[in-house]
Amino acid sequence: MNFFEHQDRARRNTRRLVLLFLLAVLLIVLAVNLAVGVFLFSFFESGFQGLNASVKAHGTVSLLTLLIIGGASWYRMSRLRSGGDMVATGMGGTWVDPDSDDPLLRRLCNVVEEMSIASGLPTPHIYVLESEKGINAFAAGYMPEDAAVAVSRGALESLSRDELQGVIAHEFTHILNGDMRMNIRMMGLLYGILAISVIGRGLLYSGGRRRSVISSRKEGGGGHILGLALLLVGYIGVILGRLIKAGVSRQREFLADASAVQFTRNPDGIGGALKKIAGLSAGSHLKAADREEVSHMLFASGQSFWISMLATHPPVEERIKAIDPLFRPEEMKVGVAPGTAGAGEGRGRSAFRSSDDPWAFLTGKRETVAASSFSEAVLQDVEAPPPDRLTHAVSAMTAIPDPLLHAARSVKGVSALFPALFLARERDMMAEQLEKVASVMGEARLRQVEGLLPQARKLHPLLSLPLSDLAFSSLRQVDREEKRILVKLMDAMVMLDGKMTVFEYCLVRLLKHRMEGMERTGGTERKRYGRGQCRDALVRIFSVLAWQGHESEILARRAFMAGISRILPMDVPPYGVPLDWTGDMDRALPVLEVLDMTTKGELIQALVITASHDGRLSLEEAELLRTICACLHVPVPPVLPQLTA
Tell me whether residue 591 is in a domain.
yes
pLDDT at res. 582 = 93
CA–CA separation, 66 vs 25, rounded Å? 8
147 and 271 both lie in a single domain: yes
Domain boundary among 466, 499, 522: 522
pLDDT in tens, 291-332: 878 888 899 887 665 555 667 788 888 889 888 888 777 666
Residue 165 and residue 96 share a domain = yes
Closest CA to 28 of 187, 232, 184: 232
CB neighbour class for 97 (10 Å; exposed up to 12, middle 13-18, buried from 19)? middle
Q: Is residue 151 part of a domain?
A: yes
Q: Does residue 34 form part of some domain?
A: yes
Query: In terms of domains, do 607 and 539 share one?
Result: yes
Whether residue 459 is found in the same domain as residue 476: yes
Q: Based on the domain organization, do 285 and 419 belong to the same domain? A: no
Does residue 69 form part of some domain?
A: yes
Are 79 and 89 contained in the same domain?
no
Q: At what angle do helices 55-79 and 3-43 cross, to 10 degrees?
A: 140
> Which of 537, 528, 612 lies closest to 567 in space, CA to CA?
537
- From the CB of residue 602, how many other CB atoms can be counted at a distance below 10 Å? 14
State the DSSP string of 521-580: GGGPPPPPB-GGGGHHHHHHHHHHHHHHH-SSHHHHHHHHHHHHHHHSTTSPPPP---SS
> Is the separation of the CB atoms in 555 and 613 below 8 Å?
yes
Q: How many domains does the chain have?
A: 4
Coil vs helix vs strand at 287: coil
Is residue 336 included in any domain, yes or no?
no
CB 108 within 8 A of CB 95: no
Same domain, 107 and 130: yes
Distance CA 462, CA 204 (A): 64
Whole-angstrom distance, CA of residue 207 vs CA of residue 201: 10
Of 291, 310, 331, the domain-final residue: 331
415 and 560 belong to one structural domain: no
Which residues are CB-contacts of 14 (< 8 A; sequence separation ≥ 6)?
Answer: 181, 182, 185
pTM over 0.75: yes
Q: Is residue 575 part of a domain?
A: yes
Are residues 239 and 314 both part of a single domain?
no
| Domain-terminating residue out of 496, 522, 548 | 522
Supply the range of the domain harboring residue 620.
Answer: 531-643
From the candidates 113, 157, 163, 171, give the one annotated as an active-site residue: 171
Percent of the chain residues past pLDDT 70, beyond the cut: 76
Residues 220 and 273 in one domain: no
Q: What's the whole-number mean pLDDT along residues 27-32?
A: 82
**Number of other CB atoms surrounding residue 264 within 10 Å:** 26
- Are 459 and 552 found together in one domain? no
Specify whether 219 is catalytic.
no
pLDDT, tens digit, 9 for 90 and up, residues 578-616: 989 999 999 999 999 888 878 888 888 899 889 888 877
Alpha helices by DSSP H, listed for 44-140, are: 47-52, 55-79, 84-90, 103-119
Residue 97, domain member (yes or no):
yes
CATH of the domain at 610: 1.10.3680
Residues 428 and 550 in one domain: no
- For 525-565, write each residue's pLDDT tens digit: 555 666 767 889 999 999 999 999 888 899 999 999 999 99
